[in-house]
């Protein structure tokens, strides 16, 4: 597939080697998160009563489990974003904010290649506006 690069000058489209770099990052993340979500990593097993010594350590164990469940939710959410980002990479709109259409920017994508929004839109969403 031959894609026409935008040449209107006000955008710096990602090069094909940058896109390939992000594709590899996303695939690695996807593999790691899938392993976690499918329970192949430690820390997400149910709390067994006999694994706890006394009340406090059971409380701790429950707290740890709740944290693990919260992490699991985040991992699943992130996995969805990664799959969406991989789909965007197949087309032309990877690296564009899904909200305002601006470039997300190479440094931000390096830190979070699955990011669907630019920093401004992400902040706005986190503040609930």
Residues that bind Zn ion (CB under 5 A): 97, 99-100, 118, 121
Of the pair 109, 121, the CB lying nearest Zn ion is at 121
Q: Which is nearer to Zn ion, 42 or 127 (CB)?
A: 127
100 closest CA partner among 129, 128, 122, 127: 122
Q: What is the DSSP letter of 44?
A: -
Q: How far is the CB of 41 from Zn ion (least distance, A)?
A: 33
Shortest approach of Zn ion to residue 97 CB, angstroms? 3
Is residue 94 classed as helix, strand or coil in its secondary structure? coil
Distance set, CA 18 to CA 30, 52, 55, 58, 126 (Å):
18, 49, 52, 48, 28
Q: Which is nearer to Zn ion, 73 or 125 (CB)?
A: 125
State the nearest-atom distance from the C-beta of 21 to Zn ion, in Å.
22
């Amino acid at each position: 597939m031959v894609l026409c690069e935008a040449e209107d000058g006000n955008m710096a489209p990602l090069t094909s080697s940058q896109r390939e770099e992000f594709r590899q990052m996303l695939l690695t993340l996807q593999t790691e998160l899938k392993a976690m979500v499918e329970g192949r990593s430690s820390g997400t097993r149910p709390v067994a009563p006999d694994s706890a010594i006394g009340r406090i350590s059971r409380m701790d164990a429950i707290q740890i489990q709740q944290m693990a469940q919260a992490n699991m939710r985040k991992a699943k959410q992130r996995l969805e974003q990664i799959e969406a980002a991989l789909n965007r990479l197949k087309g032309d709109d990877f690296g564009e904010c899904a909200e305002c259409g601006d470039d997300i920017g190479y440094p931000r994508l390096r830190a979070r290649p699955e990011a669907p929004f630019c920093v401004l839109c992400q902040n706005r969403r986190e503040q609930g506006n």
